[in-house]
């Protein structure tokens, strides 16, 4: 298929072949990711050994050397291992070969990881002892190359955390590997799944911090134990525990609270937050209750008799950490994701973390390995943004959710399914579907308007691998009263890509036509909180200052916003998104919050130490959030009290660059320009010099010999400029399909300010990593990633000096929007709010600006503008003049 690498496209030949499936389809992609997941899981099994060093996965079956001993390694070895061995108990394996050495060393794992999907295209041929479907082609050469890579690494079953890192591939690193796999190319759109679904890997240090803060607030509310004791308990540093010891009563309180805890990640990706929560909860239980007595008592409370026996057996026979992990997965953590492969990977990580703590014992059944739990009701594939219609109108609710008998039956099935064997699963699935159908039929009979709801409920099949187009925690997880913690890195997708679901989003209180996807995920999180529940998100902070964030700010102001941590220079994700962590409690607002401004921190590893040192108290209300230090607040107040905003000054026009709708046709190079003019000199009339936004520097700009074909709104290009027409004709298909076009397919859209580009003006780029505004009096045009400012009354060079000043730069850092990494987003709306003072005389300011421009004109290279000492001296003088004008000390 076609892969994008930056702006370039590269063609690759597909190696994987599946029956009736296009080479580059999503089915093929997910088959590949699932295969890699299973292989890496099996690779970890190789590292799990008994006391004699015998592995759970023999090297004679899984290794580079082994892969060379078969004509068709996937069909001959891997398929049987996956579907006939790991998926079936030893006593039930029908083929002699799979119940004898070396296959008898491989335990039955259950859990669905090795249950064949429809899209695995697996069908058994008993006589061949392998799949009947030879159309599935996984080349031996590709597998051998993968194994060669895997064998260069030291795989370890020790789990990693930000506190305890090893230079090896461990279960934690697996999450990052799969986060990257999830981000691979979506062939239908030509863009990555990461880009289309907005999912980005969250660094472990961030995950740990968010988990710790969530657990601290939850435990504080539940137990009322003092802060120092709880923070010492949650910290990985064991030394501080001795200074703040807990009483036995306090320990029981905490364990009881943990037993009741329910955590949801509504966009779980590869499971970073559920796994982070699992590891921290187990760590806390290890410190509180080394022998597991308190915790076990809490676990068996209100548990059905049939499950209690299993728990008692586990408690008497198993490693305590294994039991704890199993219990936390069973009761405490839940995940949702719209990508089926993401929920599969989250489940896989749960399986790995359980395998870590099991002990290989050849004297016991299944080599002492407990079959893995079934996580179909723990991680579901669904659209978190869409709820059941009934839940949107609770006053009209009758019937289905009052059917307590069947609801309890479904709950029992969910509970039993967790530990069900391969064969028990089949029976429980049938029972579940039968009850689901009965409830739907009953509801439909008592409420004719419930047809849509009935259809939606029946569409959910937790045992398939398909995405459900809605999410309901009560129906899917049996969680009726909300979650105690909702924690996530919600997807970041721009509003322009939400057209298909915009109608569904209008129901949200935070709705705005220009709001990005994360805004709605914040409201989803709030809607899923229990009373005093904690929402902990890391996401874009654009909503704090944008117009589209107004409704969300108003909504959040009704809650107790506990904490906000702002990053600007730290590129937390591989995206130009300025990021914040914010923590919200579902209780009455106090009208204030604690915030930490970490915009000048460059190292993400250092952020945790800086949070408390830089903490300030901010004020929040429906119409305004005040997140500034007293010094910054005073600075803005001084400016506000004595200035007018730029956009309200007479004669000021701020305009965006030209939107062509198809730059490839309208932007040409110097050679194309020369060719056109040589053929028809009249072409020169509409070929305009162009400055790309990326070439704008402070005071000046770089030429890169690009030109714009200014075809206007209704110019008769065909007859007046035939050579230009001939050029554009090559792109007629693309130009005709533009939304931005004029009277004819070759014209530009209507625009009232084309003539402004010919005037003396200030130019700048939409996004810039430096504070940079340039002067232009040569009639250059700009594309849509640039802006221009013209002025009829205030001298343009005075405004240029002011805009380039450190005064305006500081103002912008407080009031403007930054990208991740600290780049400036210099949009029309923000620039138009610049606070302007008019001096009694412009002369001194204009003299200084002219001196700077003269020196810029004579520089060898424009990059010297940032290092030239003469320019720096003049800029300092200019800053002092503006500081005096604005009466700042």
Contact indicator for 811, 636 with CB cutoff of 8 Å: yes
From CA 280, how far away is CA 258, in angstroms rounded?
A: 11
Q: Which DSSP symbol is given to 652?
A: E
Among 198-202, 681-685, 699-703, which stretch is predicted with the lowest mean pLDDT?
A: 198-202
Evaluated on CA atoms 283, 285, 289, 290, the torsion sign reads: negative
User: What per-residue string of b and e applies to 320-335 under the rule 16 or more CB within 10 Å gives b?
Assistant: bbbbbbbbbbbbbbbb
Q: Where are the alpha helices (DSSP H) in 161-247?
A: 171-182, 193-197, 204-223, 227-234
pLDDT, tens digit, 9 for 90 and up, residues 806-841: 999 999 988 888 775 668 989 999 999 999 999 999
Pairing of β 592-598 and β 559-567: parallel
Reduce the DSSP state of residue 334 to 3 states and report it: strand
pLDDT, tens digit, 9 for 90 and up, residues 458-493: 788 888 878 999 999 998 998 989 999 999 999 888
C-alpha distance across the termini of the chain, in Å: 62
Dihedral class, residue 269 (left if φ above 0, else alpha if ψ from -120 to 50, else beta): left
From CA 669, how far away is CA 657, in angstroms rounded?
A: 18
If DSSP states are collapsed to H, E and C, what string results for 241-291?
HHCCCCCHHHHHHHHHHHHHCCEEECCCCCCHHHHHHHHHHHHHHHHHCCC
The pLDDT assigned to 284 comes to 95
From CA 99, how far away is CA 77, in angstroms rounded?
A: 14
pLDDT, tens digit, 9 for 90 and up, residues 51-85: 999 999 999 999 999 999 999 999 999 999 999 99
The pLDDT assigned to 403 comes to 62
What tokens does 62 get?
């899984």
Phi/psi for 762 (5° steps) reads -105, 135
Neighbouring-strand partners of residue 372 = 110
Q: Tell me how many degrees the CA angle 29-30-32 measures, rounded to the nearest 5.
A: 65
Among 552-556, 602-606, 683-687, 822-826, which stretch is predicted with the lowest mean pLDDT?
A: 602-606
Contact indicator for 672, 731 with CB cutoff of 8 Å: no
Confidence of residue 172 (pLDDT cuts 50, 70, 90): low
Confidence of residue 674 (pLDDT cuts 50, 70, 90): very high
Q: Is 629 buried (19+), middle (13-18) or exposed (0-12) by CB count in 10 A? A: middle
Q: Is 308 buried (19+), middle (13-18) or exposed (0-12) by CB count in 10 A? A: middle
Contact indicator for 62, 46 with CB cutoff of 8 Å: yes
The pLDDT assigned to 155 comes to 76
Q: Which DSSP symbol is given to 573?
A: S
pLDDT, tens digit, 9 for 90 and up, residues 410-458: 888 888 888 888 778 889 999 988 888 887 776 666 554 456 777 787 7
Confidence of residue 185 (pLDDT cuts 50, 70, 90): very low
Orientation of helix 204-223 relative to helix 227-234, angle to 10°: 140
Residues sharing a CB contact under 8 Å with residue 134, sequence separation 6 or more, in sequence order: 75
Reduce the DSSP state of residue 822 to 3 states and report it: coil
Domain-wise residue ranges, the chain = 2-155, 393-461, 490-627, 652-885
What tokens does 67 get?
């892969």
From CA 268, how far away is CA 379, in angstroms rounded?
A: 8
Q: Where are the alpha helices (DSSP H) in 53-110?
A: 64-67, 73, 79-80
Task: Please report where in the chains the tokens 């036509």 appear, as a residue.
Answer: 513
From CA 550, how far away is CA 293, in angstroms rounded?
A: 50
Confidence of residue 547 (pLDDT cuts 50, 70, 90): confident
What tokens does 581 get?
């962590």
Mean pLDDT value across residues 197-204: 61
Q: CATH topology for 490-627?
A: Rossmann fold (3.40.50)
Average pLDDT, the chain: 85
User: What per-residue string of b and e applies to 36-50 under the rule 16 or more CB within 10 Å gives b?
Assistant: ebbbbbbbbbbbbeb
């Amino acid at each position: 298929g076609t892969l994008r690498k930056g702006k370039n496209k590269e063609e690759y030949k597909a190696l994987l072949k599946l029956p009736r499936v296009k080479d580059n389809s999503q089915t093929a992609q997910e088959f590949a990711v699932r295969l890699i997941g299973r292989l890496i899981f099996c690779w970890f099994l190789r590292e799990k050994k008994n006391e004699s060093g015998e592995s759970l996965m023999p090297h004679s079956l899984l290794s580079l050397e082994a892969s060379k001993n078969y004509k068709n390694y996937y069909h001959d070895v891997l398929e049987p291992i996956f579907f006939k061995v790991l998926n079936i108990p030893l006593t039930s394996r029908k083929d002699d070969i799979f119940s004898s050495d070396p296959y008898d060393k491989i335990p039955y794992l259950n859990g669905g990881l090795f249950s064949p999907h429809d899209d695995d295209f697996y069908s058994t041929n008993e006589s061949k002892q392998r799949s009947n479907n030879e159309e599935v082609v996984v080349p031996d050469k590709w597998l051998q190359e993968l194994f060669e890579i895997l064998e260069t690494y030291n795989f370890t079953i020790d789990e990693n955390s930000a506190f305890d890192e090893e230079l090896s591939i461990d279960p934690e690193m697996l999450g990052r590997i799969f986060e990257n796999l999830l981000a691979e190319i979506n062939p239908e759109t030509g863009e990555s799944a990461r880009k289309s679904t907005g999912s980005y890997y969250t660094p472990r240090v961030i995950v740990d911090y968010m988990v710790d803060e969530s657990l601290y607030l939850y435990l504080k509310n539940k137990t009322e134990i003092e802060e120092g004791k709880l923070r010492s308990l949650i910290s990985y540093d064991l030394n501080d525990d001795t200074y703040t010891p807990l009483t036995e009563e306090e320990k029981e309180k905490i364990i009881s609270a943990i037993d009741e805890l329910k955590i949801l990640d509504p966009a779980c990706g590869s499971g970073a937050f559920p796994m982070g929560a699992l590891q921290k909860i187990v760590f806390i239980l290890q410190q509180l209750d080394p022998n597991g007595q308190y915790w076990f008592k809490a676990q068996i409370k209100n548990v059905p008799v049939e499950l209690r026996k299993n728990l008692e057996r586990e408690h008497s026979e198993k490693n305590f950490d294994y039991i704890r992990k199993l219990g936390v997965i069973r009761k405490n953590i839940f995940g949702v994701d719209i990508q089926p492969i993401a929920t599969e990977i989250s489940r896989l990580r749960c399986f790995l973390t359980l395998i870590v703590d099991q002990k290989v014992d050849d004297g016991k059944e299944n080599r002492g390995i407990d079959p893995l739990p079934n996580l179909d009701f723990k991680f579901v594939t669904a659209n978190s943004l869409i709820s059941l219609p009934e839940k949107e109108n609770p006053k009209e609710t009758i019937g289905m959710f009052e059917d307590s008998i069947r609801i309890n039956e479904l709950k029992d099935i969910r509970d039993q399914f967790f530990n069900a064997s391969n064969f028990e699963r089949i029976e429980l699935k049938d029972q579940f579907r039968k009850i689901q159908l009965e409830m739907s039929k009953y509801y439909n009979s008592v409420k004719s308007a419930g047809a849509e709801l009935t259809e939606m409920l029946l569409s959910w099949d937790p045992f398939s691998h398909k995405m459900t187009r809605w999410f309901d925690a009560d129906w899917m997880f049996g969680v009726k009263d909300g979650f105690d913690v909702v924690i996530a890195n919600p997807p970041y997708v721009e509003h322009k890509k939400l057209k298909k679901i915009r109608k569904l989003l209008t129901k949200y209180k935070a709705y705005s036509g220009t709001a990005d996807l994360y805004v709605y995920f914040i409201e989803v999180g709030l809607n899923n909180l229990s009373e005093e529940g904690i929402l902990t998100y890391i996401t874009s902070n654009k909503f704090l200052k944008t117009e589209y964030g107004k409704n969300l700010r108003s909504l959040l102001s009704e809650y107790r916003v506990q904490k906000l941590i702002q990053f600007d220079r730290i590129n937390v994700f591989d995206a130009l998104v300025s990021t914040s962590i914010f923590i919200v409690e579902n209780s009455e607002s106090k009208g204030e919050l604690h915030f930490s401004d970490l915009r000048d921190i460059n190292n993400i590893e250092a952020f945790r130490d800086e949070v408390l040192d830089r903490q300030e108290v901010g004020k929040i209300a429906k119409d305004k959030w005040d997140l500034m230090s007293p010094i910054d607040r005073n600075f803005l107040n001084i400016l506000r009290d004595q200035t007018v905003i730029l956009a309200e000054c007479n004669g000021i026009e701020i305009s965006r660059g030209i939107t062509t709708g198809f730059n490839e046709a309208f932007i040409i190079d110097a050679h194309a320009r020369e060719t056109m003019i040589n053929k028809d000199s009249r072409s020169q009339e509409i070929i305009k010099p162009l400055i790309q936004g990326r070439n704008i520097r402070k005071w000046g700009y770089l030429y890169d010999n690009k030109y714009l074909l200014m075809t206007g709104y209704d110019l008769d290009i065909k007859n007046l400029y035939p050579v230009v027409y001939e050029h554009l004709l090559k792109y007629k298909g693309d130009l005709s399909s533009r939304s931005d076009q004029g009277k004819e397919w070759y014209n530009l859209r209507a625009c009232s300010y084309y003539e402004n580009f010919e005037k003396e003006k200030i130019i700048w780029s939409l996004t810039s990593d430096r504070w940079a505004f340039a002067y232009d009096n040569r009639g250059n045009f700009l594309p849509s990633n640039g802006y221009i400012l013209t002025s009829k009354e205030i001298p343009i060079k005075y405004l240029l000096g002011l805009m380039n000043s450190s005064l305006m730069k500081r103002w912008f850092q407080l009031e403007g929007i930054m990208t991740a990494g600290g780049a400036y987003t210099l949009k029309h709306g923000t620039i138009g709010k610049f606070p302007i003072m008019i001096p009694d005389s412009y002369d001194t300011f204009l003299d200084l600006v002219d001196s700077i421009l003269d020196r810029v004109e004579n520089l060898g290279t424009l990059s010297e503008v940032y290092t030239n000492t003469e320019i720096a001296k003049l800029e300092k003088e200019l800053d002092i003049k503006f500081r005096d004008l604005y009466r700042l000390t």
